[in-house]
Amino acid sequence: MSAEDASHPVRLVVRDDRRRGRLTVLFRLILAIPHLVWLALFGLAAFTLAFVMWLAVLYERRAPRSLHAFLASFTRYTVHLTAYLCLAADPYPSFTGSKPYPVDVEIDPPAIQGRWGAGFRLVLAVPAFVVSSTLGGSVAVGSAYGGAVFGSLGGLTATIGLLGWFASLARGRMPRGMRDAAVFAIGYGAQTTAYALMLTDRYPDSTPGRSEPPPELPAHPVALAVDDDLRRPRLLVLFRFPLVVPHILWLTLWFVLVLLATLLAWLVALVSGRVPRFLHRFMAAFVRAVTHLDAFFYLVGRRFPGFVGREGGYPIDLTIAPPERQRRLGVLVRVVLGLPALLLATTFSSIALVVGVLCWCTALATGRVPGGLRDLGAVSLRYQAQAAAYALLLTSRYPDSSPALQAPPPVPEPALLELTGLA
């Protein structure tokens, strides 16, 4: 956990072992009905009291402890329930939000808040609501809009919930990458809820991978490296769309050839169990070129990208491992196997679009993009690239939806004295 994350008043803590009871998974939505009814009532009380809290903060610049505790419980409850619904956690949650849960948040006690920020809190929170809706990380956000509670669980968590339901039923475990992605969305949703409910004046942090413990990032044949700053020249921001039109035309033509190449590669791989090197290079360059273009278009990258997808040619770069031996059965049914990944990639593309729009507005005003949003965009692009590489037979490794951009630092070896209990 970084120092910056440690200082955020709303911190995500994960103690989930990914094991899931098949029976409760099967009936998860039905089991959650009492909670959804309770959420509506709890939410009504919470948002009513949030108004009182708002007045109190405007007047005293600090939240009353009792109100803060109540709304913090509500926020924690929404975290527990969201995690339960999207299978990021297994135990049936309590109705109070006060008991520990495998996916939980720690919320700091009340602190001094600025009056201006408090006064315009709902307006300021709009971008966070937009991101949170796309991530679908909190059942509370829908209530904050005044909309239906049931409709608020959507976006990334809904897709993960759907895919995770099948995976958990089949294997009795939630896939690590999907669980971590859902946990990230839930963490952001909790920070948004806490911000909207005046629990803190710290803006939600969209930097992926900020949880305790940090999510894993296993080595993958398709990896993304970010080596870029956050500055964005306004002129290039303003004309982002027309500037990419030549790339779009070029990549559309290229895509036609890639489809033919994929068909050929599929036939060859079915026979030999390996994609020919020249086809692999051709299609890998295409996936890289699309990633470079997307990075530029969504303002994840600063510089105008090249047209040929050269490795090392862009600050948001994709490395794709050389062709490997693949199982013929996996090649044969690749289209079917790839469907869940493509569904999740579609969700990640929506996230990238939201990131792009928000970054566009921010960069036009300030000449910079927020680091958290940039990293979230990069994670989205990486998943899309991995899904494309899988579909195009560039790798047999399934895409990994881990929200981390970098692998967590290795845990230091405990000193001998600590091991022996003599320290």
Partner 1 sequence: MKALRLVVYALLVAGWLALAWLLWGSVVPDGLALPHVDVDTVFGKALVERAARYERFLLVLWALGTAVTLATLAIYARYGDRFTEESAAGPLGTGMLLGMLGLAILWLTQLPFTVVGLWWSRRHDVSHLGYFDAVFGDWVALGATFVSVCVALLVVMGLARRLGSWWWIPGAAVFTAVAALGVFVAPYLYTGLDRPDDPGLVARYERLERAEGLHGIPLRIESVSERTSQANAFAFGLGPSRRVVLWDTLLDGRFSPAEVDVVLAHELGHHSGDHIAKAIGWFALFALPGALVLMLATRRRGGMGDPRAVPLALLVAAAWALVTTPAQNLVSRRAEAEADWKALQTTHDPQAARGLFREFAVTSLGDPSPPTWAYVLLDTHPTLAQRVAMADAWAARQGR
> Mask of contacts with partner 1, 185-224, x by CB under 8 A?
----------------------------------------
Identify whether the C-beta of residue 69 lies closer than 8 Å to the C-beta of residue 213. no
Amino acid making up residue 319? T
- Which of 61, 62, 176, 303 is in the footprint of partner 1 by CB under 8 A? 303
Between 272 and 366, name the residue whose CB sits nearer to partner 1: 366
Between 228 and 375, name the residue whose CB sits nearer to partner 1: 228
Q: Using the rule CB under 8 A, give the single segment among 15-23, 101-109, 239-247, 259-267 that binds partner 1.
A: 239-247
We find the least distance from the C-beta atom of residue 245 to partner 1, in angstroms, to be 4
Task: Calculate the dihedral angle through the C-alpha atoms of 155, 161, 164, 165, rounding to the nearest 10 degrees.
Answer: -150
Q: Does 356 bind partner 1 (CB under 8 A)?
A: no
Identify whether the C-beta of residue 226 lies closer than 8 Å to the C-beta of residue 413. no
We find the least distance from the C-beta atom of residue 11 to partner 1, in angstroms, to be 37
We find the least distance from the C-beta atom of residue 351 to partner 1, in angstroms, to be 24
Distance CA 326, CA 321 (A): 13
Encoded tokens for 413: 């070896």
57-60's contacts with Cβ under 8 Å and 24+ in sequence apart are 57/113, 57/115, 57/118, 57/198, 58/115, 58/118, 58/119
Q: Does 333 bind partner 1 (CB under 8 A)?
A: no
We find the least distance from the C-beta atom of residue 236 to partner 1, in angstroms, to be 6
> Mask of contacts with partner 1, 252-291, x by CB under 8 A?
----------------------------------------
Q: Using the rule CB under 8 A, give the single segment among 127-135, 163-171, 301-309, 409-417 that binds partner 1.
A: 301-309
Between 120 and 241, name the residue whose CB sits nearer to partner 1: 241
Contacts of 320 (CB under 8 A, 6+ apart): 221, 222, 284, 287, 288, 311, 389, 394, 395
Provide the b/e sequence for 400-420 (b: ≥16 CB within 10 Å).
bbbbbbeeeeeeeeeeeeeee
Chain centroid to CA 215: how far? 12
Residues at the site binding partner 1, with contacts judged by CB under 8 A: 233, 235-236, 238-239, 241-243, 245-246, 249, 292, 302-307, 313-315
